[in-house]
Amino acid sequence: MDTTREFVRFQDTAQGTPRAGEPALGRAVLGRALGLLRTLATTAVEDAAGFGFAEAADFAGEVEELSRTVEYLQLVAAGAVDRARKLPAATAPAGTTSWATGWRESPGESPGGSPGSAAAAGAAVASNPGGAAAGADASVAAAGTGAVDDGCRNTMEFLRARLRISAAEARRRLSLADSVLPRPVLAGR
C-alpha cells in the first residue's frame, strides 16, 4: 500500500517547462509509473483483503481515476503513432519516385542502395513465425531513417500488431484520438 501512496503523491514537476525535453521526461515518468504499478499489483490482493469499506471505496475510486488517465494516454499514443506514420509520406521530397515505387532499382539492390539488404530483410521477416512483433520492432528501427516500413498497410494494423489489441479497439482509439485530441492548425501550432 505504501507504493500506492508514493504513486498518488507523484506530480509532474515539468509543468511550464519548455517542450524540448518533454519526450524524454514523459518516457521516464511512464517507466517509473509502470514500475510502481507493477509493484502495487504484486501485493494488491493481500492489501485489499484487509480494507474496510471506506478504504476499499477509496482504493476503487483511485484505480478508476488511474484507468481514465491511462485510457486518455492510450488515445494520445495512438494519435502520435498515426501522426508519425503519416509524417514521412507527407514530408517526402518530390524526387523520390524511384525509391517510393522501386521501379529504378536493380533486382539485388535495396532502397538504400546497398546490394542484398532488401533480400536479407525479406528473409528475416519470412523466417520469423511471429511476423507481427518483428514488423513492429522493425518500424522502430526504420523510424530513425525517416521512412516507416513496418509491413503494415495502415496505422490500425500496426497498433493491432504492436499492442496486441483487436482491430476494433485500434480503430476505436484512432477514431477517438482524431475527434477528441487537439489538431495542429494551419500555422503548425
Query: What residues does each domain of the chain span?
Result: 71-89+119-181
pLDDT of residue 120: 42
pLDDT of residue 72: 95
For residue 109, what are the β-bridge partners?
Answer: 115
- The 10s digit of each residue's pLDDT in 103-154 is 555 555 545 444 444 444 444 433 344 444 444 444 444 444 455 678 889 9
CB 108, CB 116: distance < 8 Å: yes
Coil, strand or helix at 113: coil
CB 131, CB 124: distance < 8 Å: no
**Which stretches of the chain score pLDDT less than 50?**
4-5, 7-18, 97-102, 110, 112-145
pLDDT of residue 7: 47
Q: How far apart are CA 49 and CA 167, in angstroms?
A: 37
